[in-house]
Amino acid sequence: MPPPESATAPMVFLDRDGVLNEEVNYAFRLDQITWVEGAFSAVRRLNQLGYRAVVVTNQSGIARGFYTEEDVRVLHVEMARIMADNGARIDAFYYAPHHPDATIAAYRVDHEDRKPRPGMLLKALQAFPTDMQRTFLIGDRATDLEAAKAAGIAGFLFKDGRLDVFVEDCLAAL
């Protein structure tokens, strides 16, 4: 059951590539997405516990000209639909299209949203009333954990295995 829009709820931040789906360099089409084992049940469990699930992902492929922001938005709509088809809910997607070495000049910036900076997380925390004591991030890189720390929340490093089992360990550690 989703938390009411005005209700304070805990939030889980999930990196996309390497956490929800297998890492593939510059994935931007649904046919490039292979879900991590236990991804649907992990998000479903968090939803059942009242967590808002928010994806935060660096997408430097946009800055490098490999795909567009619209490609990413379309993929995220499809990913949310597949999650919903499996009884799980993603409340929001945030992505950082910038990179300091971008080939497309408009994206060539060390932007506040690009992890390890906390911009995406701070935007989500501002958008939703949040129980900060129970809020955390799951990422697969040190930069994800740095962003969590900068946002004042716990961060957990996921390397491999079943995401649902890992989520239970994270919840127990809070």
**Burial classification of residue 101, based on how many CB atoms lie within 10 Å of its CB (0-12 exposed, 13-18 middle, 19 or more buried):** exposed
Compute how many other C-beta atoms are within 10 angstroms of the C-beta atom of residue 7: 12
Is the pTM of the predicted complex or chain greater than 0.85? yes
**Residues forming the active site:** 15, 17
List, in order of start, the domains of the chain with CATH numbers.
Answer: 11-173 (3.40.50.1000)
91 touches 50 (CB < 8 A) = no
Q: What is the mean pLDDT of the chain?
A: 95
pLDDT tens readout for residues 95-153: 999 999 999 999 999 999 999 999 999 999 999 999 999 999 999 999 999 999 999 99
pLDDT tier at 4 (50, 70, 90 boundaries)? Answer: low
